[in-house]
Structure 1
């Protein structure tokens, strides 16, 4: 197994919009019984909690699903949308329920594993979306409530993208959220082939 070094909890304590950019180029790593799968994060979306109509915690909404959003920065927030698991990084601090959705990754390790899990799909489509990457990497609802600072699901130091390599624009799939749908809180590595369409 590769020796990955998870990022320290302090990394997650920066402002949410800044964290969404700083996560680009970090390595998302998932250990399962089948082996390790990892990929460089190339697309994220920030959700700014109580004041963001697109956030699950808008208006400080606290439910069984959103409870982890009120916990420590660096916690893992997974949820199911339709049949897909989506994975988020909790940030904002205790009682400040903000999060960053990991939208896509560039595969790095465990390509055979990803190929099996995304059978029949071209490699470009293995991880080019938030539900695709969780399938390819073996991230499940069971990861909810863990922390990204230790196995089995970690975020580790990876390649750093310079600010001029980063694009931003409106988030995707939140059309019914009023003015929030236009906030330019999606960030991606400019020109990367794994960024979701």
Structure 2
């Protein structure tokens, strides 16, 4: 079994760097019945602070976004379309709201599908990746090349922000 990535790792890197460095790492979900799901992270998106109009933090501090203003290494989940919980990892230092959306795994693509596969719900909001017994990320050697492109589904943010090349995909070689 590989080593769990310590919470300090998420705090010393900004979202754009972390979105790239998480590619190839192993996401682990331990279910209440003891089963474990292990999958390689294959696609991510970075959301970079209050100025990033595609980020929830651009609307300021709200009950929903409060967690993004904390130190990195905690899980930020939110519900979309009333049925999909999306998995985000808060990054960086407190008061600098940044997060990485997990968009793809080796077992499934699409952030909504990932939430369903992992059986995420509101109880994961604020989960500490350094100590959680049900969700964590393990170090792994990444093989392949990284492709960068614009983020998906953020047209509302305007041309500059929607076209930031902050979606990263691990491409097999």
TM normalised by structure 1 equals: 0.80
1:173 aligns with 2:172: no
Cα deviation for residue 160 of structure 1 reads: 1.6
After superposition, the CA RMSD in angstroms is: 1.6
Deviations 1:39-70 (A, max 9, x none): 110000000011100000015x1111111101
The answer (yes or no) to whether the contact 1:24–1:189 under 8 Å persists in 2 is yes
Q: 1:141 to 1:4 in 2, by over 3 A?
A: farther
Which residue of the partner structure matches residue 130 of structure 2?
Answer: 149
Secondary structure (helix, strand or coil) at the match of 2:102 reads: strand
Matches within 5 A, 1:1-197: 5-12=3-10, 13-34=12-33, 35-58=35-58, 61-82=60-81, 83-107=83-107, 127-150=108-131, 151-161=133-143, 165-178=145-158, 179-191=160-172
5+ residue gaps, structure 2 = none
Q: Distance in 2 between matches of 1:24 and 1:161?
A: 9
The answer (yes or no) to whether the contact 1:29–1:37 under 8 Å persists in 2 is yes
Cα deviation for residue 147 of structure 1 reads: 1.2
The answer (yes or no) to whether the contact 1:169–1:186 under 8 Å persists in 2 is yes
Deviations 1:45-100 (A, max 9, x none): 000011100000015x1111111101111111000011110010101211111000
Q: Distance in 2 between matches of 1:66 and 1:87?
A: 14
Q: Distance in 1 between matches of 2:143 and 2:21?
A: 8
Q: Distance in 1 between matches of 2:120 and 2:110?
A: 13
Q: Write out the 4+ residue segments of structure 1 that deviate beyond 4 Å after TM superposition.
A: none
Cα deviation for residue 30 of structure 1 reads: 1.0
Q: How many residues align?
A: 168
